[in-house]
Structure 1
Amino acid sequence: MKKVVQLVAQRAGITESQAETAVRTVASFLKDRLPPGIAGQVDKYLEDDAEGDNVGKKSDDGLGGLGNKISGAFGPK
């Protein structure tokens, strides 16, 4: 989640603490509204971010591009 938080902080011009709150809020919102099988992938995507640079990857993320669309919602790279 670290890279997503940093990206949001940078693009929104807010602190990383504020960005983390925003990312957690959006993730919770998505998980509450997505089908259970897909909702679990939100956490997996954010966990994978901590292990490698998944933010902004253009390759298939295993979710039909959903992860790329979510990260793209924070603006162009």
Structure 2
Amino acid sequence: MKELEDKLASLGLSPEQSHQAIQAVVDFIKSKVPSEYQGMVDEVMAGNMPDLGALGGLMGGLKGLFGGKE
């Protein structure tokens, strides 16, 4: 997450703007997945890798987008 915040800061966003932008993306992703998987999005954003079963590849890719390691 810190890596993404740093990247946004390098584009000229304030820390508050960076946080708002990240939260908007997280909210958008959560609105597109079934409710039972929304907690997994929170886990990935917290830097954790939950047991994703069949969704492992998809969520792992999302984690990579936000600076996490698969």
Shorter chain as denominator, the TM-score bin is 0.5 to 0.7
**Aligned letter for 1:8?**
L
The TM-score with structure 2 as length reference comes to 0.58
What do you get for the CA RMSD once the two structures are aligned? 3.0
Moved segments of 4+, more than 4 Å? none
Structure with greater contact order relative to length (CA < 8 Å, sep ≥ 6) = 2
8 A Cα contact 1:8 1:19, kept in partner: yes
Identical residues among aligned pairs (%): 25
Instruction: State how many pairs are aligned.
Output: 62
Larger Rg, first or second structure (1 or 2): 2
Q: Supply the distance in 1 between the matched residues of 2:13 and 2:4 (Cα, whole angstroms).
A: 13
The gaps in structure 1 that reach 5 residues or longer are 50-61
Q: Which has the higher helix share?
A: 2
Cα deviation 1:22-43 (Å, max 9, x = unaligned)? 0011101111111223322221
Distance 1:47 1:26, change over 3 A: same
The gaps in structure 2 that reach 5 residues or longer are none
The TM-score with structure 1 as length reference comes to 0.54
